[in-house]
Structure 1
Amino acid sequence: MELNVSTASQDGNAVVTATGELDLYTAPRLQAALAGLLREQIDRIVVDLSGVEFCDSTGMNVLLAALKRLKERGGSLELAAPRPAVKRILQVTGLDTVFTVCEAAPALDAI
């Protein structure tokens, strides 16, 4: 399975939409998108996970690294609309207490 990543940004906020499987082989695609937004001095990123069917530890580490970098400069990263399988990984690992998890993905103009 492949991972498709798209980004949209406006006024220091960004929505990253990922669809497919987030794993060892596809995580670099998400990492590149997040790194690009970090270079643009984006302060708030919402990662829409509604289209992600699977996520392994590599994918979680990419999200954690971006969260850490944003927090270091006073920004935030939120996860939106994770599917049950991804939500379960967040719960089992305790990462649901580290990330802000929203039930629905907001429109860019709403963040």
Structure 2
Amino acid sequence: MELKVSTRSHAGNTIIAVSGEIDLYTAPRLQAEFTRLLAERPDRVVIDMAGVEFCDSTGMNVLLSALKRLKEAGGVLEVASPRPAVRKILQVTGLDSVFIVHDELPAELSQP
């Protein structure tokens, strides 16, 4: 399955909307977007995962790497709208306590 990644800014925040499956084959697409984005040194990045049907350990490693790099630059990475399968992975791995996880995209970011 293809991975779609789109990025937009709203009120000084960056939202990355991801849909499809994040796995060994598609994770480099997400990694490339983070690399491009981190060069801009954003303060807050929210990953909207409402469209993500599956995320394996490779995808989680991409998110962890981005979190680490953002923290080092003084920024924050948040996860929004994870579907049940993705939420379960976050819970089983303990990453739900590492990331700030929102049930839905924060209201202040939901306007395009």
Distance in structure 2 (CA, Å) of the matches to 1:3 and 1:96: 23
Matched, 1:77 2:87: no
CA RMSD of aligned residues (A): 1.5
Q: Please say if residues 81 and 105 of structure 1, whose CA atoms lie closer than 8 Å, have aligned partners that are also in contact.
A: yes
Residue of structure 1 in register with 2:61 after alignment: 61
Moved more, 98-107 or 7-16: 7-16
Q: What code does the residue aligned with 1:88 have? A: K
Paired residue secondary structure (1:47)? strand
Q: Which structure 1 segments of 5+ residues have no match?
A: none
Matched, 1:40 2:25: no
Distance in structure 2 (CA, Å) of the matches to 1:73 and 1:10: 20
Distance in structure 2 (CA, Å) of the matches to 1:109 and 1:80: 11
Residue of structure 2 in register with 1:90 after alignment: 90
Q: Which structure 2 segments of 5+ residues have no match?
A: none
Shift of 1:12: 4.3
Q: What code does the residue aligned with 1:67 have? A: L
Distance in structure 2 (CA, Å) of the matches to 1:87 and 1:109: 20
Paired residue secondary structure (2:82)? coil
Q: Which consecutive segments of 4 or more residues in structure 1 shift more than 6 A? A: none
Paired residue secondary structure (2:24)? coil
The alignment's TM-score, normalised by the length of structure 1, stands at 0.93
How many residues get paired?
110
Residue of structure 2 in register with 1:8 after alignment: 8
Shift of 1:108: 3.6
